[in-house]
Every structure is written in C-alpha cells, then in structure tokens.
Amino acid sequence: MILYGLGASGIIGLAVVLLVLFVFNSGGGSHGVCSAKDCPDDGPSVALANLADLKETPPPWGPNSNSLPARLKAMKLAPLQTEEGSLLHIHQHLDIFNDGKKVNVPPAIGIRVRGNRAEFAELHTHDADGVIHVESFRNQTVSLGQFFGVWGVNLAKNCVGGLCSPPGPFKIYVNGDLFTGDPIKLVLQAHQEIAIVYGKPPADIPSSYDWPPGE
C-alpha cells in the first residue's frame, strides 16, 4: 500500500510539473500573463481616431511627421523642442510582427527637420532599431498610445495600423508576457520589450533587448 501511495503521488507530481510547463510555454514563447503590477494600463489615454493623418492601413508606415504638431496639440503633449528633455529619460524597444515577419519601425518618428535644425517630440525614435526614446522636461507618466499618436499610426486592442482582428489573431507581449490590458494606456517603463504580433506569430516572442551601455 505504501508503494502504491508513493506511485500515485509521483504521478500527481509529474502531472503538476507538466501543467506548469505547458502554461509557461504556451502562447508562442511567453512567460505568462502580465499582471496589473508588472504591466499597468492606467497611463494617459488617447483618442487616436481624432488625430490628424492617422494611418489605418497595412504596413509599411513612415515617420509621418507632416501633421505632427497638430497631433501633439490634440494629445496635450509638449510642443516640439529644439532640445531633448533630460528630466524624464527612459527607453523601450518595440517589435511589430505581421505573419511572423518584422515590420519596420522607422527612424525619426516624432522628429521634424526645419532648415538645418531638428525639432523633437517628447516621444520619438532616432534610428530604425525599434528603440523608443522618452525624453521630456517634465516628470510624467507616458503611454504606448501616446507614442502611436506621435507616430500617427492606429493602435487598439485588436489593431495596429490596418492589421486588425478579425481576420487574423492579434496579441501584445511585454517582456515576453502576454498583455491583456488596454494597449493605448500601457505605461511605458524603462527597458521594456514590447512586441505587437498580428497573424502567424514569429518562432520566438522577444522577451528582452540587448541595451547598449548607458541607454
């Protein structure tokens, strides 16, 4: 009877281990589900549909800077500055996938060049590496929706640009974890890895970014 009891306990224990491994490895390589503590979605909301020159088309999307001042005003973000703010200075990395293929996040989102000088929004990109720069003269909470508003590209719980569910599946991951909150109000935090996945997912959902020293 003791041996039977031990055997039954071993089977139950194995089943528990297998269940944990299944949960951790389901969802295309995610580690779990974002909690409200880890991935808060109480940041500033944005009425993206009301913004000028909003792109609701399939990719690619350019930096879309022609109507940038009007979008900043509508979102009550600071107007363009010739210097980047230093009081709030954090970075995030954004990946967008369409049927397993990377969508380009272009350089100069939130940057407008006038003559020989550049003007910067508080949220912007410099290069085509997917790094979001949040550089402000104000200490504030900023959201993913505000970045997409600066970019002028549609974002919703089921859409990015013109990639919407249905027909294809649409998921967002933060640091490899499935995010089920409101992406527009997702609070941007230092060194986040944000992956927006439409359609067939890539082989691996990125969970981190190789940040260079000092960034």
Q: What is the pLDDT of residues 130-177, one digit of tens each?
A: 999 999 999 999 999 999 999 999 999 999 999 999 999 999 999 999
Whether 11 shows a pLDDT value over 90: the answer reads no
Which has more pLDDT, 164 or 114? 164
- One domain, residues 49 and 26: no
Confidence of residue 215 (pLDDT cuts 50, 70, 90): confident
pLDDT number for residue 30 = 52
Domain encompassing residue 45: 32-198
Chain mean pLDDT for the chain: 89
Tell me whether residue 206 is in a domain: no
Tally of domains within the chain:
2
Tell me whether residue 118 is in a domain: yes
- One domain, residues 20 and 99: no
Tell me whether residue 168 is in a domain: yes
Specify the pTM: 0.86
Tell me whether residue 205 is in a domain: no
Tell me whether residue 135 is in a domain: yes
- One domain, residues 13 and 44: no
Which has more pLDDT, 179 or 25? 179
- One domain, residues 163 and 93: yes
- One domain, residues 87 and 177: yes
- One domain, residues 18 and 47: no
- One domain, residues 43 and 87: yes
Tell me whether residue 187 is in a domain: yes
- One domain, residues 5 and 62: no
Tell me whether residue 171 is in a domain: yes
- One domain, residues 26 and 36: no
- One domain, residues 92 and 12: no
Mean predicted confidence (pLDDT) in 1-17: 42
- One domain, residues 22 and 120: no
Mean predicted confidence (pLDDT) in 182-195: 98
Mean predicted confidence (pLDDT) in 39-52: 97
Contact 123, 187 (CB under 8 A): no
Whether 20 shows a pLDDT value over 90: the answer reads no
Mean predicted confidence (pLDDT) in 20-37: 59
pLDDT number for residue 100 = 98
Confidence of residue 214 (pLDDT cuts 50, 70, 90): confident
- One domain, residues 80 and 6: no
Tell me whether residue 26 is in a domain: yes
